[in-house]
Structure 1
Amino acid sequence: MVYENILTEMNGDVLVVTLHRPEKLNAMTHQMRVDLLDCVRRAENDEAIRAIVFTGYGDKAFCAGANIPELQERTVTSEMGNAATLRKELPTTVERLGKPTVAAINGHCYGAGLEFSLGCTIRIASGNALMGQPEIKLGQIPGSGGTQRLHRFVNLGWAMQLVLTGEAVDAETARSIGLVTEVTSQQKLFPRALELARMLGERAPLAFVAGRDAVLRSTESDLMTGIDYERKLYAMLMATEDRNEGLAAFRENRAPVYKGR
């Protein structure tokens, strides 16, 4: 897969996607969104790909946010068109992907970059990372799902602070509030992201999707509705080949071979 604004390569059964606009700290353009969405959709249907790692080119930034020249061109009319739909569609497609995704946040991660990462299954960061939603400093608010997804991972107070002050938090603060799950050195970030991606990719695909969706549902429904949803997914998995394979592998003291059935 060859794209204008992203680089792709396979590392075993993990697809590595690198946001590549180093001269602009990998700022998110319309074309980058188009590239990412196409890449993710292709990966969904590629059986050789078990998981995806997203990162930014270089050691300064994952994604510094929206491309300012494009931002200046937006109007009320344009916000009713395809560009706005694409901004909503990209993190949602990543979030609903049938395969695990890991964001390896290797530096500045602001605005659209943070919103994109919120669609990933897991986020980890290097110690030099700074993360935030600075849109309010430009008289705007996040426009790619940030106001709605932040509270899935941080408490309401922190979501309010990030959105309404526009101030960034450092990597350790991001970890302490739940925005990322781990902080590593820059040198260890990518190997750890690959390790997590492979670990997740080895899990039964149907169980992965069910577990992820059940956890996300907990942020959108009351407790008993969520438990009912969990119970239905639990029962559904009882009838899968992968569940039988998992039990057999445990009894036989071997690694399971899951097929997503």
Structure 2
Amino acid sequence: MSTFQRPTSSRKNTNTLPPQQGDLEEYIQILYDHQKSCEKAGKYLEADQAKKRLAELKKELDQKNKVDVKDRHCSEKQEIEKAHLDEFNQFNTFWDEKMVEFDQEAQKVKEQTLQRHEDELRQFSDELENSIPVKPKDSAELLALRKTEEQLAKQENYMEAHLIQQKILNQERDELEKWTVGRQQKIRNLITQLRQKQINELNALTQRILSGQEEQRKIRSQELEKLLQKYQNVRKELESQQVQEITRLDKSCKTQSIMQQSRMNQSRMQQSYAKDENQYIR
């Protein structure tokens, strides 16, 4: 409450009003009590003087109440704005950290998968090299030629044995080349199959990561919409309450006595303080 200052103009000697002191509401109470005291004592001129002064003070009180209410309304709006901004910043901080954490974890899993694929491929290649013989088994034709060579040598038919021997060498070379080509192709095919399996696994992982990121963006957008709607609802409710309060104040200024208005103003101020504490807790 503001302190009510005495006017600088001098009073006439006939002024019997109590001296103005304290805040406006307190002085109104003093002046009202003085009016009623004069009324009971039959001092009607003094009572009328107090009544007229109270009428002047009523206008001043009306103006003061409107200014106080306007200032309080402005303060309430600022409190809501601040509370909303704080919650909005906390919301963004939470989701920024959550999404960064998700991306970091996804990158970690992806790197681990790539390392595992590399280890698997190296181990698989080593296993293939060790499990598939470098040289083929002798073919039936080669076995038959060796048997023939042996028989010719026993028969001391060395020229024929030599020819068969050369044929065996050529056959061994041809079969080894054919085996080597087939062996290498088989290893390449098996490695290609493993690589394709790994590519499919990595693609599936990447898709899950993208889906997770999209789901987070979707949830964040939905939660943000709820937050903004909450703010709009609180603001509209406050504006509605403030309009109703202004309407009641204007009406009370016209219809209520000055003492009723003073008491209602004090009660309204007490209620507003309690409401300010709970306005944004919804």
**TM-score normalised to structure 1 length:** 0.19
User: Which structure would you say has the larger RCO, counting Cα contacts within 8 Å and 6 or more residues apart?
Assistant: 2
| Higher strand content, 1 or 2 | 1
| Higher helix content, 1 or 2 | 2
**TM-score normalised to structure 2 length:** 0.18
